[in-house]
């Protein structure tokens, strides 16, 4: 047998590789810790998103009731607008008037962007502009106005007493101002957006200042 | 590079950047009207709300008085207010139309706007109309208004 004793150089070589190998394994194991932590956080966030209910930007009504009847309001083609017949769709009602220079175009533009953001899901949303100024807005005028913002929108109107009744059922205030020399007048009115869900319940009310992003997210949740 | 030259160049660079940042504060020495726009109008409507930003680079406060346009029968300054979901439009008060020296006044949706009534023709996206806006000190400024779908 050759010399049993190992020279210091050789013994070093035997020990060092083992320590290096041990360090390599330890480093890999250490790497697992942050990976596991990150994975854990990702799973937790995803789970929370999937399981947590959507937080609506609008005011969700505590005890949603069947949306009040819109009997008496008509589309441009003369057919009745019956909000109860839109089951399966989400209906957004906006009460305004076509001679409104600021709030109505602004709100309808926001609605247009919100519906656009829904992409294919926009098919399930029915936007109806209800005129609270039947003196100047016939159903054709209201409809042309609504469609000038988006061809998918509809406008409706009716006889004064029908418009007043529906407005009051929805808690919508409307008061015409003094006419100027040219006969032009503005109308103070409730400019909130009303959301009716797929089961025909008046479910949510959005303030006029709602953004397209907030509206789009809420509509998406209502469609689900 | 020589240290002196390097220092001068750095100082120049800092000065340019600072001047650029200062550009966000009205400093042109005069009052300007910026980004004037309005939305396209449906055929049945005879009104349009015109929006813009007034940047007062002058040393004195100023006030927006009103406007005129060949495209409108009348132009009034209006203010929209929304309280508890109810929107109202009234003629703007003089206080609301003050543009402080070195400050801005924004006419924007759901707020202050120039209301143009009796439009001579519907406004189409891409069009431009001309209005004259009056101020107590800056006088009458003619500005182009772009018709845009915003």
Instruction: Give the distance from residue A192's alpha carbon to the nearest chain B alpha carbon, in angstroms.
Output: 5
Find chain B residues with C-beta within 8 A of A210's C-beta: none
pLDDT of A38 reads: 87
Q: Does B86 touch chain A (CB under 8 A)?
A: yes
Confidence of residue B14 (pLDDT cuts 50, 70, 90): low
Calculate mean pLDDT across residues B102-122: 96
Find chain A residues with C-beta within 8 A of B87's C-beta: 103, 188-191, 208
Calculate mean pLDDT across residues B140-150: 96
Q: Does B47 touch chain A (CB under 8 A)?
A: yes
Cα(B57)–Cα(B147) distance, integer angstroms = 26
Mean pLDDT, chain A, rounded, equals 89
Mark yes or no for CB contact A186/B89 under 8 Å: yes
Phi-psi region of B35 (alpha: psi -120 to 50; beta: other; left: phi over 0): left
Mark yes or no for CB contact A207/B86 under 8 Å: no
pLDDT of B23 reads: 45
pLDDT of A10 reads: 54
* Beta pairing class for B62-68 and B128-135: antiparallel
- Least Cα distance to A136 among A184, A169, A190, A102 occurs for A184
Find chain A residues with C-beta within 8 A of B48's C-beta: 101
pLDDT of A95 reads: 98
Q: How far is CA B40 from CA A146, A169, B95, B119, in A?
A: 13, 33, 30, 12
Cβ–Cβ contacts within 10 Å for residue B135, how many?
Answer: 20
pLDDT per residue over B43-61, tens digit each? 888 899 999 999 999 999 9
Find chain A residues with C-beta within 8 A of B88's C-beta: 188
Whether the predicted interface score ipTM is above 0.85: no
Angle, nearest 10°, between helix axes A103-117 and A212-223?
A: 50
Q: How many Cβ pairs within 8 Å bridge chains A and B?
A: 82
pLDDT at A7 over 80: no
Mark yes or no for CB contact B44/A188 under 8 Å: no
List the single range of A12-16, A116-120, B56-60 with lowest mean pLDDT: A12-16
Q: Quick one: what percent of chain A has pLDDT higher than 70? A: 87
Nearest residue, CB atoms, B113 vs list A102, A109, A145 = A102
- Least Cα distance to A157 among A66, A78, A83, A99 occurs for A78
Best of A105, A132, A189 to substitute, by most chain B Cβ atoms within 10 angstroms, is A105
Mark yes or no for CB contact A101/B44 under 8 Å: no
């Amino acid at each position: 047998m050759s010399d049993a004793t190992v020279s210091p150089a050789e013994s070093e070589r035997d020990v060092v590789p083992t320590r290096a190998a041990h360090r390599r394994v330890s480093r890999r194991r250490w790497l697992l810790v942050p990976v596991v932590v990150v994975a854990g956080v990702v799973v937790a966030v995803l789970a929370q998103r999937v399981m947590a209910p959507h937080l609506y930007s609008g005011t969700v009504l505590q005890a949603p009731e069947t949306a009040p009847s819109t009997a008496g309001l008509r589309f441009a083609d003369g057919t009745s607008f019956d909000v109860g017949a839109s089951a399966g769709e989400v209906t957004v009602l906006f009460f305004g008037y076509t001679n409104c220079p600021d709030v109505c175009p602004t709100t309808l533009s926001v609605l247009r962007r919100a519906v656009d953001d829904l992409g294919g899901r926009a098919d399930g949303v029915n936007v109806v502009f209800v005129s609270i100024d039947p003196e100047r807005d016939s159903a054709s005028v209201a409809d042309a106005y609504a469609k000038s913002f988006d061809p998918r929108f509809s406008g409706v109107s009716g006889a004064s007493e029908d418009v007043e009744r529906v407005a009051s059922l929805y808690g919508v205030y409307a008061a015409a101002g003094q006419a100027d020399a040219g006969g032009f007048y503005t109308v103070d009115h409730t400019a909130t957006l009303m959301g009716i869900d797929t089961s025909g319940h008046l479910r949510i009310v959005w303030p006029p200042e709602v953004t397209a992003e907030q509206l789009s997210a809420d509509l998406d949740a209502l469609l689900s | 590079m020589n240290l002196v030259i390097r220092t001068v160049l750095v100082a120049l660079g800092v000065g340019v950047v600072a001047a650029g940042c200062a550009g966000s504060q009205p400093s042109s020495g005069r009052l300007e009207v910026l980004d004037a726009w309005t939305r396209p109008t449906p055929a049945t409507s005879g009104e349009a709300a015109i929006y813009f930003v007034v940047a007062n680079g002058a040393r004195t406060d100023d006030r927006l008085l009103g406007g005129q346009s060949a495209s409108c029968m009348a132009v009034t300054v209006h203010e929209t207010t929304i309280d508890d979901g109810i929107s109202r439009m009234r003629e703007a008060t003089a206080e609301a139309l003050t543009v402080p020296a070195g400050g801005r006044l924004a006419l924007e949706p759901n707020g202050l706007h120039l209301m143009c009534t009796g439009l001579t023709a519907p406004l189409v996206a891409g069009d431009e109309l001309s209005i004259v806006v009056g101020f107590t000190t800056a006088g009458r400024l003619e500005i182009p208004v772009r018709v845009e779908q915003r």
